[in-house]
């Protein structure tokens, strides 16, 4: 592959590109969907393709093509150069790339059980076993969808700085949604797990555990009442503090969005939260869903501190934004696949541990909420965030009370970071799929964390 | 469009089906999709990137004894197609039978569509797209020096879908689309507004980049000096984007036949019942002229059609694909779509709305505002995807939004949340605008709904 990619790069340079990069992939994917104890479909497929990105006079050109045919890729590189030239006529501030070390590497993954070699029947039986556990939980469970996904194969990367990397890819992902119903009350609960390890992980994270978790989440909500809207103190569980780290803060600290005018634009080196707040974006946690060795610009992944003791100490960069900030790239450039260009994405983003126990944090709350499990979240550049919640409880006089449903909470990210007044000593990392025009598997987490005041958007 | 002719695509499909049926499959269906897109991206106030993407592939569904297998490839050679068909056959064998399986579609006549393909869009060069992007950008940047263009893009698509199955369906259709959009913020002192957007999305070359630039800038400026408001039950005027987000993640799910059959929908058993205000009439029109989701046939080769959903507040119909239609003993409404992560050819069908049309009222947007004594105008909902698709409950941030007092826009609203059930919102619709507009699956005017719970301070 190296020779073929090198020829494409040479050709791009001859056409006047100051930078050329080629990413090629050979990936295999299996998706299995079960709905209410039946296997709806088993999908298997091959995706070959390549993406070529060039820089001409400071403007980007990009061409992707679902093929690995050398002749077609030669056409693509001239296409990319033509595209870049068209854009370059209007460029006011030419893009430049931060220097990185030249790398030649082959990253192999050899899991105990490579999902590509696990028989389809075994995967199907795992889904059906989980489905049975879920329906056996309670007669109020009415429906359940389970989606299993594995991706394996190899990515190839080469650029005009003479970096060449072959990197195996491996993803396992299992999402479960359970619907429960009692009379007119409808509820849904979900659970998602994901790894960059082999299929053997399901021996410890068993279908029983996953199924029961999802089922209980939906059943709990049948008993739940709608909360009163308004501002309250809250203890935020690891899953939601992760979503907060990713959505409410993380996106603002992606350097492309920071430069696009996020509220962090002038905050580097400044205090943005209480002293006990520490947030990290980490691409090095073994087996976690957001972990990889090299990013899609050939930069090694690393552990990047974003907030230290309440102060912004770093942003997430690709080579272009790192150059703008006069700093080093952090290895956050990721592309979903050959169809997309690499952009700045988070990896595993989390609050680091503190020293408080859950009970201690509860004690001081007279009336508030324990927000445990999320359904989705979204942030805006002005720092307004919203996190939809599927599992939450009231806190009354220092004790956990009734479950509440249809909760979401919202606020301003920086104001909320200042209101963090206790950080737990536990830690958990969870899995999500983030959409920023393209999808990326991301990890997110942290400890139980207490916030003095958030806006709870409750029902009528 | 691309290198492949319609007959090439159909032949690839036939080839796949022949391999599968020869192996012993009871039935088989091939789906091919191609897409060619050109995009100009605006980043941080300047044109930064120009992209061209090309992807095509084939997916084949194979059924053996009512168990379904699927395989796909984006390598379109005879050898690869043969391997893909065999793989699909093996996955069907490995899977479990489904007693409700009712078979693929049979050949039917397709209606013609209007304004779904425009040669002019195919011919647009990347230089011309760069020019359109510049007009949009310059208009916004020169409007007011507090405006900052966060991002934007101009994108053209040419795409095709082909369905071939073992019952004799052989269908090919192609379409074009152009999307231009700009996202702005305004900054003044320490204040940053939320993202404000404006866009055109059309199937033919009919866009107004100057208007987009100006409106996106205007919105950002009018979002400055935002204030918190008191909580209460207020009248809410929903702009089409806000309405789309709300309906897409709640109501549209509740009328999908699979969700109804699987007891996930609050609208199960409600056909013929009044579920919305009498002002509300909705139909799903897969053949609408210039509709963003208009095709001659759906992703299973079933003709697209116009299906009544709500007539004067009464629920009339659910949306069906072949599988769910067979289960209910009715005809598919042509709502099978291949959508999700990845390209269409990688996916099996799901049910989705096409051009979900809320019929127009008679009031101008200005009159809608004039009629509101105490309320808000909402243009975007943050977090709509976290709504409960089953119960229709939502709890979202309205941003950007403006306070309406005594028939006039008073000021921008900061961080207000809306909470409630979509069915209550539809029941409390009190007025409809006459400003029809399309956004993804929705075609609608502005609507006014009474007594929506707003959580402010």
What does the pLDDT look like over B101-137, one tens digit per residue? Answer: 999 999 999 999 999 999 999 999 999 999 999 999 9
ipTM of the complex: 0.89
- According to the model, what pLDDT value does residue A407 have? 83
* A142/B263 Cβ within 8 A: yes
Give chain A positions within 8 Å (CB) of B394: 406
Closest among B307, B243, B317, B306 to B273, alpha carbons compared: B317
- Best probe of the A interface among B53, B79, B266, by most A CBs < 10 A, is B53
CA distance to partner chain A, nearest, from residue B265 (Å) = 8
CB pairs under 8 A between A and B: 291
Q: Is the CB of A143 inside 8 Å of chain B's CB atoms? A: yes
In a shared domain, residues B255 and B107:
no
- What is the CA B155 to chain-centroid distance, rounded? 16
| Average pLDDT rounded to a whole number, residues A303-319 | 98
Residue span of the structural domain in which B387 resides: 232-455
> In B194-231, where do the E strands start and end?
196-202
Q: Does residue B155 lie in a domain region?
A: yes
Asked whether the beta carbons of B59 and B348 are under 8 A apart, the reply is yes
In a shared domain, residues B39 and B116:
yes
What CATH number is given to the structural domain containing B100?
3.30.2290.10
In a shared domain, residues B291 and B412:
yes
- What is the CA B322 to chain-centroid distance, rounded? 21
Q: Is the CB of B77 inside 8 Å of chain A's CB atoms? A: no
**Hey, what domains does chain A have and what are their CATH numbers?**
2-222 (3.30.2290.10), 230-457 (no CATH)
In a shared domain, residues B182 and B246:
no
- According to the model, what pLDDT value does residue A459 have? 55
- According to the model, what pLDDT value does residue A291 have? 97
Classify strands B416-421 and B447-455 as parallel, antiparallel or unpaired.
Answer: antiparallel
Contacts of A75 (CB under 8 A, 6+ apart): none
Q: Is the CB of A381 inside 8 Å of chain B's CB atoms? A: yes
* B388/A375 Cβ within 8 A: yes
Tokens of A35: 């709905």
Angstrom distance (rounded) from CA B50 to CA B211: 23
Look over chain A and give the mean of its residue pLDDT values, rounded to a whole number.
94
In a shared domain, residues B43 and B61:
yes
* B415/A455 Cβ within 8 A: yes
By C-alpha distance, the chain B residue nearest A56 is B49
Give chain B positions within 8 Å (CB) of A124: 94-96
Look over chain B and give the mean of its residue pLDDT values, rounded to a whole number.
95
CA distance to partner chain B, nearest, from residue A89 (Å) = 9
In a shared domain, residues B309 and B200:
no
Q: Which of B222, B257, B274 is the last residue of a domain?
A: B222
Contacts of B143 (CB under 8 A, 6+ apart): B213, B214, B217, B218, B221
Angstrom distance (rounded) from CA B16 to CA B170: 13
Asked whether the beta carbons of A26 and A92 are under 8 A apart, the reply is no
Q: How many CA atoms lie within 13 A of A120 on its CB side?
A: 23
| Average pLDDT rounded to a whole number, residues A311-339 | 97
CA distance to partner chain A, nearest, from residue B311 (Å) = 24
In a shared domain, residues B40 and B155:
yes
By C-alpha distance, the chain B residue nearest A407 is B395
Q: Does residue B424 lie in a domain region?
A: yes
Q: Is the CB of B209 inside 8 Å of chain A's CB atoms? A: no
Q: Does residue B439 lie in a domain region?
A: yes
Angstrom distance (rounded) from CA B197 to CA B182: 6
Give chain A positions within 8 Å (CB) of B185: 261, 381-382
CA distance to partner chain B, nearest, from residue A142 (Å) = 7
Closest among B128, B416, B68, B41 to A120, alpha carbons compared: B68
* A374/B419 Cβ within 8 A: no
Q: Which of B222, B245, B267 is the last residue of a domain?
A: B222
> For helices A2-14 and A70-88, what crossing angle results, to 10°?
30
* B187/A67 Cβ within 8 A: no
What pLDDT digit, counting tens, does each position of A97-138 carry?
A: 999 999 999 999 999 999 999 999 999 999 999 999 999 999
- According to the model, what pLDDT value does residue B389 have? 85
Number of CB atoms found within 10 A of residue B454's CB: 26
In a shared domain, residues B239 and B91:
no
SS3 B88: helix
Is the pLDDT reported for residue A147 higher than 90?
yes
Q: Is the CB of A71 inside 8 Å of chain B's CB atoms? A: no
In a shared domain, residues B265 and B390:
yes
Give chain A positions within 8 Å (CB) of B48: 59-60, 87, 91, 95
Asked whether the beta carbons of B71 and B91 are under 8 A apart, the reply is yes
Phi-psi category of residue A234: left, alpha or beta, with phi > 0 → left and psi -120 to 50 → alpha: beta
Angstrom distance (rounded) from CA B300 to CA B89: 19
**Residue B23 pLDDT class (50, 70, 90 cuts):** very high
CA distance to partner chain A, nearest, from residue B111 (Å) = 30
CA distance to partner chain B, nearest, from residue A258 (Å) = 10
In a shared domain, residues B292 and B248:
yes
Q: Is the CB of A391 inside 8 Å of chain B's CB atoms? A: no
CA distance to partner chain A, nearest, from residue B390 (Å) = 6
Q: Does residue B1 lie in a domain region?
A: no
> In B205-349, where do the E strands start and end?
232-238, 282-285, 306-311, 314-315, 336-337
**Residue B289 pLDDT class (50, 70, 90 cuts):** very high
| Average pLDDT rounded to a whole number, residues A281-299 | 97
Is the pLDDT reported for residue A49 higher than 60?
yes
In a shared domain, residues B239 and B278:
yes
Is the pLDDT reported for residue B172 higher than 60?
yes
What pLDDT digit, counting tens, does each position of B331-370 carry?
A: 999 999 998 777 999 999 999 999 999 999 999 999 999 9
Q: Which of B222, B248, B282 is the last residue of a domain?
A: B222
Q: Does residue B407 lie in a domain region?
A: yes
- According to the model, what pLDDT value does residue A460 have? 39
Angstrom distance (rounded) from CA A229 to CA B231: 9
C-alpha pair distances (Å), B93 with each of A37, A457, B24, B377: 17, 49, 10, 55
Give percent above pLDDT 70 in chain B.
99
> What's the first-to-final CA gap in chain B, in angstroms?
55
Q: Does residue B243 lie in a domain region?
A: yes
Q: What is the count of structural domains for chain B?
A: 2
Closest among B280, B283, B253, B314 to B449, alpha carbons compared: B280
Asked whether the beta carbons of B61 and B70 are under 8 A apart, the reply is yes
* B94/A119 Cβ within 8 A: yes
- According to the model, what pLDDT value does residue A458 have? 64
- Its sign, for the CA torsion B426, B427, B428, B431, is positive
Q: Does residue B81 lie in a domain region?
A: yes
Give chain B positions within 8 Å (CB) of A263: 192
- According to the model, what pLDDT value does residue A380 have? 85
Q: Does residue B260 lie in a domain region?
A: yes
Compute the C-alpha angle B343/A147/B27, nearest 5°.
65
Tokens of B451: 């007594």
Q: Is the CB of B134 inside 8 Å of chain A's CB atoms? A: yes
Angstrom distance (rounded) from CA B68 to CA B52: 35
What pLDDT digit, counting tens, does each position of A411-460 carry?
A: 899 999 999 999 999 999 999 999 888 999 999 999 999 999 999 886 53
**Residue B306 pLDDT class (50, 70, 90 cuts):** very high
In a shared domain, residues B46 and B113:
yes
Contacts of A139 (CB under 8 A, 6+ apart): none
Angstrom distance (rounded) from CA A138 to CA A120: 29
């Amino acid at each position: 592959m190296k020779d073929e990619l090198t020829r494409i790069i040479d050709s791009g340079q001859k056409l006047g590109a100051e930078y050329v990069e080629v990413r090629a992939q050979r990936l295999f994917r299996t998706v299995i969907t079960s709905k209410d104890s039946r296997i709806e479909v088993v999908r298997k497929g091959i995706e070959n393709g390549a993406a070529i990105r060039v820089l001409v006079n400071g403007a980007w050109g990009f061409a992707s093509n679902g093929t690995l045919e050398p002749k077609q890729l030669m056409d693509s590189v001239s296409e990319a150069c033509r595209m870049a030239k068209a854009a370059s006529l209007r460029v006011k501030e030419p893009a430049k790339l931060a220097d990185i070390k030249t790398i030649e590497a082959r990253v192999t993954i050899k899991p105990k059980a490579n999902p590509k070699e696990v028989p389809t029947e075994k995967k199907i039986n795992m889904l059906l076993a989980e489905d049975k556990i879920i329906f056996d939980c309670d007669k109020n469970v009415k429906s359940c969808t389970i989606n299993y996904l594995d991706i394996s194969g190899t990515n190839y990367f080469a650029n005009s700085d003479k970096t060449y990397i072959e990197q195996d890819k491996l993803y396992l992902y299992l999402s479960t949604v359970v619907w429960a119903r009692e009379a007119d009350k409808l509820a849904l609960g979900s659970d998602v797990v994901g790894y960059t390890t082999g299929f053997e992980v399901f021996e410890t994270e068993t279908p029983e555990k996953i199924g029961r978790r999802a089922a209980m989440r939906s059943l709990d909500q049948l008993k739940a009442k709608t909360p009163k809207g308004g501002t309250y103190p809250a203890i935020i569980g690891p899953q939601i503090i992760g979503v907060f780290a990713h959505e409410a803060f993380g996106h603002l600290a992606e350097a492309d969005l920071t430069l696009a005018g996020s509220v962090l634009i002038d905050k580097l080196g400044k205090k943005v939260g209480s002293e006990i707040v520490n947030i990290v974006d980490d691409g090095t946690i073994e087996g976690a869903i957001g972990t990889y060795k090299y990013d899609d610009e050939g930069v090694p992944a690393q552990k990047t501190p974003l907030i230290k003791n309440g102060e912004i100490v770093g942003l997430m960069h690709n080579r272009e934004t790192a150059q703008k900030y006069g700093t080093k790239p952090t290895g956050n450039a990721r592309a979903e696949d050959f169809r997309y260009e690499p952009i700045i994405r988070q990896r595993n983003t989390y609050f680091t541990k503190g020293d408080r126990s859950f009970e201690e944090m509860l004690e001081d709350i007279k009336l508030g909420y324990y927000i445990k499990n999320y359904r989705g979240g979204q942030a805006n550049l002005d720092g307004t965030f919203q996190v939809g919640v599927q599992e939450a409880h009231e806190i009354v006089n220092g004790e956990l009370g009734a479950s509440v449903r249809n909760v979401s909470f919202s606020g301003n990210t920086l104001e909320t970071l200042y209101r963090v007044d206790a950080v737990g000593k536990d830690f958990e990392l969870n899995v999500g799929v983030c959409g920023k025009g393209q999808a990326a598997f991301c990890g997110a987490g942290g400890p139980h964390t207490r916030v003095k005041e958030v806006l709870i958007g409750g029902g009528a | 469009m691309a290198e492949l002719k319609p007959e090439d695509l159909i032949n690839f499909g036939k080839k796949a089906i022949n391999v599968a049926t020869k192996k012993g499959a009871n039935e088989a269906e091939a789906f091919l999709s191609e897409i060619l897109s050109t995009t100009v991206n605006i980043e941080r106030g300047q044109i930064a990137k120009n992209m061209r993407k090309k992807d095509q592939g084939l997916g084949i569904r194979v059924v053996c004894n009512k168990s379904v297998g699927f395989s796909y490839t984006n390598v379109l050679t005879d050898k690869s197609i043969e391997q893909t068909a065999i793989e699909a056959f093996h996955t069907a064998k490995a899977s479990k039978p489904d007693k409700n399986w009712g078979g693929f579609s049979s050949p039917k006549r397709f209606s013609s569509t209007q304004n779904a393909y425009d040669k002019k869009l195919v011919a647009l060069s990347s230089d011309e797209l760069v020019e359109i992007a510049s007009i949009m950008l310059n208009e916004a940047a020169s409007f007011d020096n507090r405006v900052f263009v966060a991002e934007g893009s101009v994108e053209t698509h040419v795409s095709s879908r082909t369905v071939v199955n073992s019952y004799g369906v052989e269908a090919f259709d192609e379409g074009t689309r152009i999307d231009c959009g700009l996202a702005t913020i305004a900054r003044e002192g320490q204040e940053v507004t939320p993202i404000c957007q404006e866009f055109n999305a059309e199937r033919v070359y009919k866009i107004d980049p100057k208007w987009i630039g100006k409106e996106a800038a205007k919105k950002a400026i009018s979002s400055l000096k935002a204030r918190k408001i008191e909580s209460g039950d207020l009248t809410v005027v929903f702009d089409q984007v806000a309405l789309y987000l709300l309906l897409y993640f709640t109501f549209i799910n509740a009328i999908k036949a699979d969700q109804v059959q699987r007891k996930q929908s609050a609208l199960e058993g409600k056909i013929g019942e009044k579920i919305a205000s009498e002002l509300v009439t909705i139909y799903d029109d897969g053949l609408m002229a210039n509709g963003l989701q208009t095709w001659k046939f759906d992703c299973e080769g079933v003709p697209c059609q116009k299906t009544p959903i709500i007539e004067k507040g009464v629920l009339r119909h659910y949306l069906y694909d072949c599988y769910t239609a067979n289960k209910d003993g009715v005809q598919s409404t042509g709502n099978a779509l291949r959508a999700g992560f990845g390209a269409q050819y990688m996916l099996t069908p799901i049910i989705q709305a096409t051009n979900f049309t809320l019929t127009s009222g008679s009031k101008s947007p200005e009159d809608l505002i004039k009629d509101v004594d105490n309320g808000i105008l909402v243009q975007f909902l943050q977090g709509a995807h976290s709504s409960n698709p089953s119960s229709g409950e939502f709890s979202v941030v309205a941003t950007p939004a403006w306070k309406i007092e005594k028939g006039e826009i008073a000021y921008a609203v900061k961080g207000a949340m809306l909470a409630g059930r979509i069915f209550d919102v539809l029941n409390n619709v009190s007025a409809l605008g006459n400003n029809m507009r399309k956004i993804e699956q929705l075609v609608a005017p502005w609507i006014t709904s009474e007594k929506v719970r707003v959580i402010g301070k």
